[in-house]
Amino acid sequence: MKSRIPIYGKAVLILLVALVVFLVVVPLASAPIPGQLFGWYVVTTLAAILLYVSSTEAFWAEFVTPFRRLLLARGAVAKPLRICVFIALPLVVGWYFSTWAAGSAELPGGLRVVHPTPPSSLNFRGKRINLKEVVVNPLRADEAHLADNTEQGRVLYYKNCFFCHGDALDGNGHYAKGFNPAPANFQDAGTIAQLSESFLFWRIAKGGPGLPEASAPWDSAMPVWENFFDEKEIWQVILYLYQRTGHKPRVMEEGDHSGH
Ligand code: HEC
């Protein structure tokens, strides 16, 4: 039986069926196909179509006829058409690669919460710390050792934090440029000046990985310091951050425990 659908019709039909499957059937059955994967599926489909149209001599001859005409035909229509195609083709390809395919350095859209609500308690190396009960840094009560503890905090800061948060605590450390989001600028009125010491304890102990859903999607480079510091060391470095910047920590009232 001889099919009446010309080879171009078949090629377009196969492509359309494949697109319906990728764009409608698969998303309905499971989830939308990610953009890059979709690109690969389309390329694979095109390769399959090319194999098909070149599978017999007759198919191939039929398939290349229009191209041959475009390249070789003479006449009032063929020549200008040929010139248009050869000007348009590089323009379209160039436009595609300089816009759509170029991608962007922007973070994925959506609002993210920079200072999310902290948990009411946290598990610090197996010990439960109730953050609601920690109104101020516990080391502040020990006035005799306050200067010592702050000095310890300074040492810890310059051994561990300044690479990112900077010599001057302004978020301009050596590695800062490499991170998005950038390391926090503690001198700025928008960071520790607005936060309680227990909030800082939580953020330093749990780092970027400890941020809740509300702060996603972002890849904070802030390390999980409970892996390296004990409880006292975290309180010491917090003392230093406030002493050095001159900011006063926010003191939480009962029930008011949000970051902002
Ligand atoms: C590898 C880089 C890096 C190092 C090292 C680092 N941080 Fe961070 N830190 C970040 C980044 C990036 C952010 C901003 C994103 C976030 O809030 O998680 C941040 C945020 C913070 C915040 C939250 C500030 C706010 O406004 O919410 C605190 C507090 C903090 N860092 C303290 C420290 C301390 C203390 C140290 C050293 C013990 C340290 N960081 C070491 C990268 C780093």
Q: Where does 121-245 sit in CATH, by number? A: 1.10.760
Amino acid at 41: Y
DSSP category for residue 230? -
- Which one of 115, 164, 185, 240 would you pick to mutate in the ligand 1 pocket, going by the greatest count of ligand atoms within 8 A of its CB? 164
Per-residue pLDDT of the chain (260 residues; tens, 9 = 90+): 555 788 888 899 999 999 999 999 988 888 788 777 888 999 999 999 999 999 999 989 988 888 888 888 887 888 888 889 889 999 999 988 887 766 655 555 556 678 888 899 999 999 999 988 888 899 999 999 999 999 999 999 999 999 999 999 999 999 999 998 899 999 998 899 999 999 999 999 999 988 887 777 678 899 999 999 999 999 999 999 999 999 999 987 655 544 44
In the chain, domain spans = 7-102, 121-245
User: d(Cα 45, Cα 93) in Å, to the nearest integer?
Assistant: 20
Query: Which residue has a Cα nearest atom 25 of ligand 1?
Result: 191
Tell me which residues have their CB closer than 6 angstroms to ligand 1: 115, 160-161, 163-165, 175, 179, 181, 183-184, 191, 200, 203-204, 208, 220-223, 225, 237
Cα 181 to Cα 20, 25, 109, 217: the distances in Å are 38, 37, 13, 11
Torsion of CA 169, 173, 178, 184, to 10 degrees: -10
Distance CA 204, CA 228 (A): 11
Question: What is the maximum alpha-carbon separation in the chain?
Answer: 100
Nearest CA to ligand 1 atom 26: 191
H or E stretch at 122: strand 121-124
Residue 80's pLDDT is 86
The amino acid present at 134, given as its one-letter code, is: V
pTM: 0.64
